[in-house]
Amino acid sequence: MIQLPFSSSSHHSRCLGAAGLCLLSALFTVLWDTPQAAAQPSPRQVRRRLSQRSPITYQFREIFAFPDSGGPVYSLAWAPDGSSLASAAGLDLLLWDPNARTRVANLTGHKNLIWGVAWSPDGNLLASASADLTVKLWDAHNHRELASLKTNLAMTVAWSPDGQRLAQGDDGGLIQIFDVATRKVLVEISVGRWVICAAWSGDGQTLAVGDLSGFITLWDPITGAKLGQWIPGVTGRKDTNGITWSPNDSLLATAHQDGSIWVWDPDTREPLRRLNAHRGWARGVAFSPDGRLLLTTGEDNTATVWSTETWALLASLPCGSLPLWSAAWSPDGSQFALGSGRYETKGSGAVFLWQVTRE
């Protein structure tokens, strides 16, 4: 058995407490935020005003839980046109129609758990990173395997914005950037630490990487040069489990083993916010397409949603009884998907679909 870095130490009870509205004006002026519990009309629906002074209201409603999701669902990815949702399902890659709410394909070929899933920007290809020491490329239309790229234990895959390059990070401490057309390695970067997550900036000029030792590193994907490196002040294990850019590249958010989410200025590398989002580890972290919301998932089988305008906690959403690993927004921002599962347990987990409305 391969020991991967996200061991679940415990399963925490669901947190459905209803607390009062956040004390907003004082909270927003300080750097470090302690989240306030969101008002919860029902276990599966949350409606929340952005602030006491704002007329804007968000509503979050669970609309579907896909049956037979396999799992653990370590990774999720929406097709660029929003017509399909891909999920890691143990050894398989599942494709769902989120509108018809049906499973449309099961892509088989991996010999061990799939850790990373990513859709190409043009919607024609899927990439999957697996503990079987491969990254596979798939035809997203006819569901055929096109290539199997040799790696170490692959944890993450990320497409360049132009779709011409694919980055993977693995347990051997390597980042490999492949030319998608030729399947050849263009750049190989030795990190020296187990790579857990990676994300391209929207302009394609920077690759942000998180590793097992907790470092956050920015790399030039053309030359392989290090552009910057830092580590947040987390307690206990240092793992940087998730990483994502805001839509305009002005913010970088990272998820950590102590349950915290950090928001950074990627130019200065300075922390802007520390959000105490989860009990146990945090892993999934994703900005909404309009950049107004930040979605996170964690070991406490809960997703949290934060306003990036006020950094108020808008919702705390319990989903099932298993840890939540992955989070992904639909391209239009009207829905998001969450993936759960029991660590290294094939066949565990589920995919939850939530609707978001802004009034």
Q: What is the pLDDT of residues 218-231, one digit of tens each?
A: 999 999 999 999 99
Residue 8, pLDDT > 50, answer no
239's torsion region: left (phi>0), alpha (psi -120 to 50) or beta? beta
Q: In this structure, what CATH number is given to the domain that contains residue 138?
A: 2.130.10.10
Q: Report the alpha-carbon distance of residue 67 to residue 83 in Å, rounded.
A: 19
Q: Which of 327, 321, 317, 328 is nearest to 342 (CA)?
A: 321
Question: Do the beta carbons of residue 292 and residue 308 sit within 8 Å?
Answer: yes
User: Does the residue 93 lie in any domain?
Assistant: yes
Domain residue limits at 191: 46-358
DSSP 54-82: ---EEEEEEEEEESS--S----EEE-TTS
Q: How many domains does the chain have?
A: 1
pLDDT value for 349: 92
Q: What is the mean pLDDT of residues 256-281?
A: 97
Q: Which two tokens stand for residue 47?
A: 């409606």
Average the pLDDT over each of 36-40, 276-280, 355-359 and give the range with the smallest value. 36-40
Confidence of residue 326 (pLDDT cuts 50, 70, 90): very high
User: Does the residue 162 lie in any domain?
Assistant: yes
User: Does the residue 14 lie in any domain?
Assistant: no
User: Does the residue 214 lie in any domain?
Assistant: yes
User: Does the residue 104 lie in any domain?
Assistant: yes
User: Does the residue 22 lie in any domain?
Assistant: no
Average the pLDDT over each of 7-16, 66-75, 123-132, 206-215 and give the range with the smallest value. 7-16
Q: Report the alpha-carbon distance of residue 107 to residue 115 in Å, rounded.
A: 15
User: Does the residue 1 lie in any domain?
Assistant: no
pLDDT tens digit sequence for 139-191: 999 999 999 999 999 999 999 999 999 999 999 999 999 999 999 999 999 99
Sheet of 114-119, strands arranged across: 114-119, 125-130, 134-139, 145-150
32 versus 183: the higher-pLDDT residue is: 183
User: Does the residue 4 lie in any domain?
Assistant: no
Residue 23, pLDDT > 80, answer no
